[in-house]
Structure 1
Amino acid sequence: MTSLNGKTALVTGGRTGIGFGIARALVERGANVVITSRSEDKLREAAALLGDERAVGVAGEANDPEHQRIAVATAVDRFGSLDLLVNNVGGTERDGRRLVDIDVAAYQRTIDINLITALTWVQAAWHGWLGEHGGAIVNISSIASKLAVPDGTSYGTAKAALNHFTQQMANELAPGVRVNGVAAGTVLTDFTRVNVEGREDKVVRSVPLKRLGEPADVGAAVAFLLSDDASWITGHTLVVDGGRLLHNR
């Protein structure tokens, strides 16, 4: 198992789903973690599950600069460093409309939460620790970034932009900070459950490995990319999808 002993990670949106799976994978491999979300009470519960001596939650709005500053400072104050950043926060407002008909304000909100928020977290982490000490970043993308599907107009565009953002940041922040991404397939979480319930068999048939993803699948990939085992990998977005994209190439 990849070792992250002595490292401190900040995982945005780390209370549930993929974010919690990532946080758990990092703790299991020896890292300390700061997780963020909007609900302070539920964050405390999540931190307790991870182990209060190894995890702490910081509540706030993901795109709030002051919340970002506090989260970074908490990592440094509590654990002594901030070596690793995982930009997991994301989302979309699904309305089924084509780009030519989509509500521009909703489209902008999707771009903001998936792309702009990732940028501001990188800025906060860079100025708060990474710029001077180095480290690694992973941005959580989606295979929607590589597919043109009717209900993926804003989300797919935002995640495709995030993939390029990963390359751009990797180039700019080298050699001290490595930046990679993970493009996840269908992982069963509260976020995706509404789109999967009642059609699980159909979704699974589209996946060559014949199962839906689990948060731990993404967590293991993220842990690898953040570790020294990936010390010569930067600017890459790793597809973790059970082979789903094989049907669209």
Structure 2
Amino acid sequence: MTPTGSPEAAGNPGPAGSLEGKVALVTGASRGIGLAAAAALRDQGARVVITSRSEERAKEAAAELGGAIEGFGAHATDEAAARACVEHTVATYGRLDVLVNNAGTNPAYGPVIDQDHARFTKTMDVNLWAPILWTSLAVRAWMGEHGGSVVNTASIGGYSVAADVGVYHVSKAALIHLTKQLALELAPAVRVNAIAPGVVRTRLAEALWQGERETKVAAATPLGRIGEPEDIGAAVAFLAGDAARWITGETLVVDGGQLLGPGAV
């Protein structure tokens, strides 16, 4: 028997993997993984709202992708802006089926004990509090009653340690655990999963792949290259869609095998 609050009971299961007729919201999506995720969701039939701190940049990014994508200015930790974005999405499109908590930051470089409270707080606010904020708004506005899917952008750093990015890794480890906690609390109506990208060609990860480092990281990666945003976008679309309808509380590692060997970042 299908629970009345499940996504299947919402009357739009469609073919496996299809998001036809669904509406998605992706935070921090003016470039990189967020933009690729928006494109992948759109390509599976969803109408997509993307956010950025800059409304102008959000709208420019939406125009770059074209078709069924709208830009909205909202900083990830601004509760009023987040609420306005969620309310706008539901009011405009009549529903909100998928939330991708993609916004992330990493201002706290160097040993953990050398970080100040401001950098620590900014990292945790964007990487951990924002997913809680946006998820709570999405659940109360639509998903709690009608069902939905949440996908968080974590990192393989949440499974490992490395010099100079300790606070970031701690925030992503916490996000992986938060994904499980929310999955338990919001079942059966809402599925909550995460992706854990490896080194991907994004601005946030430039320090890990720029210059000669790309060759070294690719050589230490079993699949022979660093990731592209589209690799992660495809994984997001999978977890968001009905092909993953019996998956919740899980974190899908998408790293080309980087965690398998001594080249782990």
Q: What is the TM-score normalised by the length of structure 2?
A: 0.90
Describe the superposition over 1:55-88 as per-residue Cα deviations: whole angstroms up to 9, x where unpaired.
1111022111111111111211222110000000
Deviation of 1:9 (Å): 0.4
Instruction: Say if 2:239 is the partner of 1:239.
Output: no
**Separation in 2, partners of 1:94, 1:83:** 34
Describe the superposition over 1:123-178 as per-residue Cα deviations: whole angstroms up to 9, x where unpaired.
11111111111100000000010111111210000000000000000000000000
Runs of 4+ in 1 over 3 A off after TM superposition: none
Instruction: Say if 2:121 is the partner of 1:108.
Output: yes
Describe the superposition over 1:190-230 as per-residue Cα deviations: whole angstroms up to 9, x where unpaired.
22224321221111112110111111111111111111111
Deviation of 1:103 (Å): 1.7
Q: Which residue of 1 aligns with 2:238?
A: 224
Q: Which residue of 1 aligns with 2:64?
A: 49
**Separation in 2, partners of 1:51, 1:136:** 24
Instruction: Say if 2:77 is the partner of 1:66.
Output: no
Q: State whether residues 27 and 50 of structure 1, in contact with CA within 8 Å, keep that contact through their aligned partners in structure 2.
A: no
Instruction: Say if 2:133 is the partner of 1:120.
Output: yes
Q: Which residue of 1 aligns with 2:182?
A: 169
Question: Superposed, which structure 2 residues align to 1:79-90 within 5 Å?
Answer: 79-90=93-104
**Separation in 1, partners of 2:246, 2:125:** 30
Q: Please tell me the residue identity of whatever aligns with 1:70.
A: A
Unpaired segments of 5 or more residues in structure 1? none
Question: Superposed, which structure 2 residues align to 1:1-249 within 5 Å?
Answer: 2-52=17-67, 54-97=68-111, 99-198=112-211, 199-247=213-261
Query: Over the residues paired in the alignment, what is the CA RMSD in angstroms?
Result: 1.4
Q: Please tell me the residue identity of whatever aligns with 2:36.
A: G
What is the aligned-residue identity percentage?
Answer: 49
Unpaired segments of 5 or more residues in structure 2? 1-15
Deviation of 1:44 (Å): 1.4
Q: What is the TM-score normalised by the length of structure 1?
A: 0.95
